[in-house]
Amino acid sequence: MGLPTPEELDRLSGLVVKQGQLCHGKWEKFKGVLKAILTKVATDAPSTALDKGTAALGVSSGANIGFQVAGAAIGTTFAPIGIALSPWIAAATIASQTGKVFGLHDLKADALKKGGSKVNYSCHCGNCAKNIGYIIDKKERNVALVAVGVATIGVSAIFKAAHSIGKKVKSKIVGEQRPKELTCRALIDSARGGCTSAMAAIFLLSGSWTMFGQRDVKTMATAVAIMTSEDGWEKLRTLW
């Protein structure tokens, strides 16, 4: 399946902004949000109307909503974060561009364009191209290391792992954020700010996408949960 259209992501962006207002920027944890979305979307018919669904869930009013996930109640104010976004997943249109499967390079090119359109994912923050470019560079370096590792019977992978562990230890000692963490956080901030290029990149990284096949609810729920959770950046970091 193709990525959600720019118009669909614009629609989702409005919901995300509303959720941020309802919870006053205090987002739930990723695992709880993902469970809430998957549990609720399983009970929503695919034809659920977005406006009707969000109104019924108290999104507009910020009404208190009780909801159980794995035996634990999600906070009344925070509950809409996960639950109210599930109707969007149920109603979202998939397969965006005619004959075009978006990759990270395509999204970076879109982010560099001025102004949005029905066929382009747009950037408003000015940082999406840089953040997506960093992910591309990182992924391409990893592919190169795999190729070298095959030729050297995995020696490069051993040095890469040792170097990575060393950097993690150093960052923990000095209390600094590593570039990968900063990039994930920045991409999520851009997505929450309405940059459809950042949103599309998160969707793309959350699963495997083609122009054909059934919509993968788990992939969509993962992407939405990443954007609407306090620690979503940690999940995003594992995806590239």
Q: What is the pLDDT of residue 117?
A: 76
What number of other Cβ atoms are within 10 A of residue 83's Cβ?
25
Supply the pLDDT for residue 53.
37
What confidence tens digit (pLDDT) does each residue in 203-216 have?
999 987 765 555 67
Tokens of 35: 């469970």
What is the arithmetic mean of pLDDT over 190-208? 93
What is the domain partition of the chain in residue ranges?
Answer: 6-128+178-237
pLDDT category of residue 174 using cuts at 50, 70 and 90: low
> 95 by DSSP, 3-state: which?
coil
The yes-or-no verdict on residue 131 having pLDDT over 90 is yes
What pLDDT is stored for residue 216 in this prediction?
78
Highest mean pLDDT among 96-100, 105-109, 165-169: 105-109
More confident residue, 34 or 168: 34
Rg (CA), the chain: 19
Report pLDDT for 91.
81
Asked if residues 30 and 231 have their Cβ atoms less than 8 Å apart, the reply is: yes
In terms of pLDDT, which residue wins out, 21 or 199? 199
* Structure-model confidence comparison of residues 17 and 40, the more confident one: 17
Q: How far apart are the C-alpha atoms of 194 and 133, rounded to whole Å?
A: 19
- The pLDDT of residue 112: 94
Task: Reply yes or no on whether the pLDDT at 98 is more than 60.
Answer: no
If you ran DSSP here, which 8-state letter would residue 72 be given? Answer: E
Residue 176 is predicted with a pLDDT of: 59
- Is residue 48 pLDDT above 50, yes or no? no
In sequence order, what are the residues at sequence separation of 6 or more whose Cβ sits closer than 8 angstroms to the Cβ of residue 174? none
Q: Of 54, 62, 104, which is closest to residue 84 (Cα–Cα)? A: 54
For residues 5 and 167, the model is more confident at: 5
Residue 217 pLDDT class (50, 70, 90 cuts): confident
Structure tokens at 227: 């954007």
Per-residue pLDDT of 9-35, as tens digits, reads 999 999 998 888 888 888 989 999 998
